[in-house]
Structure 1
Amino acid sequence: MNKPIIACAIHDYIETACLYGYRLELALVSGERITGVARTTETQKGRGEFLCLENPANRVEMMQISHIRALTANPYFTEIAVVSESQG
């Protein structure tokens, strides 16, 4: 069985945030909130997909993100709920 991944449309928003260096607030499924500038994404075989923020030590597993809010004004998104491909 494959590990679930985030929906393609959500991944596009994350890639856009990385491309333009948006400052984001991430709400995690644990209730924790993390704020930082989106830099890149990373996929590790068998471990999942990660969003890397400006601090190299601040890598967040995408499946642990429940909501993303853009703190940088932009024409693409303000707030999105993260849904995995296995959730629909």
Structure 2
Amino acid sequence: MDRYQPLNCDLYDYLEIACMHGYRLRVELVDGTTFEARPTTTRTAPSKEEFLQFADGPEEVRLDQLATITPLDEGASFGRVELGNAFCST
């Protein structure tokens, strides 16, 4: 896998909200793969790579591989969010 690029700090809130509310998401990865799953938490590896973990679907996805997330739950507090190529400028 390529060198890890941290996600733009402003976009973490959407991931945290999705985990906190248990939203079911349609996830599109930068390679075009799509799936539906319910995120549970994020984790940071010792290498400083960050991952979104799921209750179902793939076990986890590295955050810089996320292109978009779209909550599928009616009444979700946000809509489709584009994450791909939105990296933190640290």
TM-score by length of 1: 0.84
Please tell me the residue identity of whatever aligns with 1:4.
Answer: Q
Task: Tell me what 2:21 maps to.
Answer: 20
Identical amino acids, percent of aligned pairs: 29
* Structure with greater strand percent: 1
Deviation at 1:56, TM superposition (A): 8.3
Deviation at 1:85, TM superposition (A): 1.1
Looking at structure 1, the residues matched to 35 and 22 of structure 2 have their Cα atoms a distance apart, in angstroms, of 16
Q: How many residues align?
A: 85
Detail structure 1 runs of 4+ shifted over 3 Å in the superposition.
Answer: none
Structure 1: runs of 5+ lacking an equivalent: none
Kindly tell me: are residues 53 and 42 of structure 1, through their superposed partners in 2, closer, same or farther at Cα, counting changes over 3 Å? same
Task: Tell me what 1:7 maps to.
Answer: 8
Task: Tell me what 1:55 maps to.
Answer: 56
Kindly tell me: are residues 74 and 38 of structure 1, through their superposed partners in 2, closer, same or farther at Cα, counting changes over 3 Å? farther
TM-score by length of 2: 0.83
Looking at structure 1, the residues matched to 43 and 87 of structure 2 have their Cα atoms a distance apart, in angstroms, of 16
Structure 2: runs of 5+ lacking an equivalent: none
